[in-house]
Structures are given as C-alpha cells and as structure tokens.
C-alpha cells in the first residue's frame, strides 16, 4: 500500500505516473482521494489535508 499526501488528488499527473510505473512492474494500483468533495474545499486553512487521524481512517476504510 502506498499513500501519497500533500493534498494532491487522484487526477494528479504525478500520481498517474507513479501508478503507471507500479502497474508496469506488475503491481495493482487504485487511485482514490481520501477527502470528500466537501472536505477538499477547505482552501483557506487546509487543515484536513494534514489531519492524520482522518486520513488514516479513510485509508483504512478503503482497504476494507
């Protein structure tokens, strides 16, 4: 499992590049956003992008 932070989304060209490289190496990939659309609009403080508890719960949910 690989989780990339810093607020980039599944639409990021960099994240697509990494997913493609992992796929070419024979590893499956799943690009998801850990924040909902409502949570992503926090443009002023961006505190949710660094809420490790929230993000880890979202990641745990995605793996289940």
pLDDT in tens, 4-56: 666 667 778 888 898 899 999 999 888 888 888 787 777 667 777 788 898 88
Domain assignment of residue 20, given as a range:
13-63
Instruction: For residue 3, tell me if it sits in a domain.
Output: no
Are 9 and 15 in contact, with CB atoms under 8 Å apart?
A: yes
Q: From CA 60, how far away is CA 22, in angstroms rounded?
A: 21
Q: What pLDDT shows up at residue 26? A: 96
Long-range (24+ apart) CB contacts under 8 A made by 55-64 are 55/3, 55/5, 58/34, 59/1, 59/3, 59/34, 62/30, 62/32, 62/34, 63/1
Work out how many domains the chain is built from and give that number.
1
Instruction: For residue 7, tell me if it sits in a domain.
Output: no
Q: Provide Rg for the chain, Cα atoms.
A: 13
Q: What pLDDT shows up at residue 60? A: 92
Q: What pLDDT shows up at residue 11? A: 76
Q: What pLDDT shows up at residue 16? A: 86
Instruction: For residue 53, tell me if it sits in a domain.
Output: yes
């Amino acid at each position: 499992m690989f989780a990339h932070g810093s607020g980039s989304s599944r639409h990021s060209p960099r994240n697509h590049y990494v997913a493609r490289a992992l796929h070419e190496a024979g590893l499956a990939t799943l690009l998801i956003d850990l924040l909902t659309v409502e949570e992503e609009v926090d443009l002023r403080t961006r505190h949710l992008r660094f809420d490790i508890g929230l993000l880890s719960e979202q990641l745990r949910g995605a793996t289940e």
